[in-house]
Amino acid sequence: MQRYLRRHSTEFAMIERIAYLVIGAAIAVTVMTFLPSQQSAENVMNTSDSTMLDPLEMHNHPLLPVSETLPVPSVTHLMFPDVMGGFNIQILARNFEFTPAAINRQPEYNSGHAHVYVNGVKYARVYSTWFHLPTSALKPGENLVKVTLNANNHSEWAKDSKAISSVVKVVIPE
């Protein structure tokens, strides 16, 4: 039995990691379902206010108002430490569809892609709900990782002149 456990301990560890990711995702979906998008957890500053990082942003896109007749999109994101390094970002968007095939075309309401900013600087475009952020993108100490919802033409979707976005504070040991 001990030989069996030693041979399969790596498989058990992998299954355990997958279970934790699934449980975390289930909790996130539950929170997104029952909490309004304006509420946030202690270390997550989920906000539709783009002014939080604007003084630092080096890559601004114009705001594009959402439709008055459709449900307003919202976004939050979770960051899971990756055992191989960095973080896996799970983007939880509501009333929004990722449409990578339509990039650089005319905007269509409630669709597009996301942008990831690290400490106010655009880091990447994201075309689905998961993205890997390497440790090298973060500095020692406090980091702000922001996700915005963007139209096909890269404009930021906005409600009441505020970008639809989510910000998470990540602390990297010094």
Tens digits of residue pLDDT in 59-84: 578 999 999 999 999 999 999 999 99
Q: Where are the alpha helices (DSSP H) in 35-71?
A: none
pLDDT at 16 over 80: no
Q: Where are the domains of the chain?
A: 1-34, 37-172
pLDDT at 19 over 80: no
Question: What pLDDT, on the 0 to 100 scale, is given for residue 61?
Answer: 81
Neighbours of 152 (CB within 10 A): 18
pLDDT at 97 over 80: yes
**Higher-confidence position of 136 and 48:** 136
Question: What pLDDT, on the 0 to 100 scale, is given for residue 47?
Answer: 35
Q: Do 91 and 125 meet the contact criterion of CB atoms below 8 Å apart?
A: no
**CATH number belonging to domain 37-172:** 2.60.40.10
Sorted by sequence, the CB contacts under 8 Å of residue 79 that are 6+ apart come out as: 87, 88, 89, 90, 133, 145, 168, 170
DSSP assignment letter at 137: G
Amino acid letter, residue 173: P
Sheet holding 130-133, edge to edge: 74-81, 87-94, 130-133
Place of tokens 């690290």: 118
Q: Do 94 and 38 meet the contact criterion of CB atoms below 8 Å apart?
A: no
Question: What pLDDT, on the 0 to 100 scale, is given for residue 103?
Answer: 95
pLDDT at 22 over 80: no
